[in-house]
Amino acid sequence: MRIGIFGLGTVGQGLVEIMRQKNCGIEIAAVVDRSFAKKAQVLQGIPASADKDLILKDKSIDTVVELMGGIDDALYVVRSAIEEKKNVVTANKALLAEHGYSLFHLAERTQGGQILYEAAVAGAIPIIRNIETIFRNEQITRLMGIINGTTNYILTRMRKDNMGYGDVLEAAQKQGLAEADPTLDVGGYDAQQKLGLLISLVTGKWVEAKNIPVRGITELSSQDVIWAERFQNRIRLVADYKQENGQHYMHVTPALVDERNVLYDIEYENNAILFQGEYSGEHLFMGKGAGKFPTAFSVYSDLLYLKSGSAAAARKFAHTPLSTNYLSIGDISDTSSAFYLRLRVKDQPGVLAAIAQILGNNALSIASVHQDHSAVQAGEADIVIHTHSAKRNSFYRALQEIKNLKNFVLHQIYLPVLT
């Protein structure tokens, strides 16, 4: 088996190191990287170039490893590889989320090579292959998880070190745990793309990731982390899916989890995915969600899987995202949840009564209410409300009415309570 690697960044270099230490019978035939001349020490004699044709036109190379990142160049490479009947191993969830539907169909239509993408979701956690094989005939009715390491690291540091969001983000960027432009991670879009791939695999119908409702963590403050702790909760950015009454509901949102939830103890850049099978029950996968060697090992694992011949056999039966149908995503507002609501208000008579009236008018029952002046300016107060479970659309309607109380409601943040 001869492979060509596109992209010799952090993960690409990790893959080269792993393969040099393992006697796996797979040869790195060539590398394509724009700055290959600066990486002679890593290459150590491996043929390299910035010219994509070094790999794409080499008939002896049967598998392309795409680790370039981005979309446009990666799309050209993957599409060309499929047309040349080469297998593809990729860690590029953004590419698959946007163009996976057409790429999987191209591979099927042209009877080209396999597309493997274990490293595109949750780093070293072997979730893709397990769903494809062991759980291929199981109906998964619920899936939730932490699938973005950057945001989990930020939320962990905010709590453990009593730091604000901006300070932790800056520290994460200095450590290489957050991008210079962190929008994809902190905005929830990275988790949105990964959830789309997972649910496409689970259901056998393609999920347009851009249609999954998403909220990031940028609105959260240290006050929300403190309030969560007071009630023995922690805040996690959660990718959540459930099948209910024939509908498929999914979203990405920061949420409160309590100590009974397995996601409560998932800290720093670790990831975890919990799902419920119709017959097999509950399953938890956890591990490193990112990093040089964890991600590179998933790529390496896919290569071994291809070499063994197991990949082709498994995909004849697996719920691969090759259906000609798109999955209809249910309206998440039709589902129910309890909520945490923190309001920064002017400290004056009648404010709490007005808010309680709005909640009551929308059939929302208050589980607890607390008022605090410790972290606000003079003349202001934080009101923290926990509701009992209710229809999300009722809560959203009430929230909009509360926002309209502009004379005395200065700021608001809400979190669903994960169950």
In the predicted model, is pLDDT for residue 323 greater than 80? no
Who wins on pLDDT, 414 or 174? 414
Specify the pLDDT at position 119. Answer: 96
122-177 pLDDT tens trace: 989 999 999 999 998 899 999 999 999 999 999 999 999 999 999 999 998 888 88
The model's pLDDT over 362-393, given as tens digits with 9 standing for 90+, comes to 999 999 999 988 878 889 999 999 999 999 99
Helices 72-83 and 93-109: crossing angle in degrees, nearest 10, is 20
What pLDDT is attached to residue 179? 87
Domain parsing of the chain, residue ranges: 2-116, 127-288, 333-417
The set of catalytic residues is: 194
Does the structure show a pLDDT above 90 at 108? no
Whole-model pTM over 0.85: yes
Concatenating the DSSP letter of every residue in 43-99 gives: HTT--EES-THHHHT-TT--EEEE---SSHHHHHHHHHHHHTT-EEEE--HHHHHHH
- At the second CATH level, the architecture of 333-417 is 2-Layer Sandwich (3.30)
Please answer whether residues 46 and 31 qualify as being in contact, where contact means their C-beta atoms are separated by less than 8 angstroms: yes
pLDDT value of residue 374: 82
| Average pLDDT, rounded, for the chain | 93
pLDDT of the residue at 316: 47
Q: What is the pLDDT of residue 319?
A: 45
Q: Is the confidence at residue 285, as pLDDT, over 80?
A: yes
In the prediction, which pLDDT does 315 show?
A: 57
Homologous superfamily in CATH for domain 127-288: Dihydrodipicolinate Reductase; domain 2 (3.30.360.10)
DSSP E strand stretches across 245-379: 247-258, 270-277, 281-288, 336-346, 366-372
Average pLDDT over every residue of 10-35: 95
238 within 8 A of 255, measured Cβ to Cβ:
yes
Judged against a pLDDT cut of 60, whether residue 322 lies above it is answered with no
Which tokens is 315 given?
A: 């995909």
**Residue 112: its pLDDT value, please?**
73
- Looking at the domain that runs over 2-116, which CATH code has it been given? 3.40.50.720
The per-residue pLDDT for 398 is 98
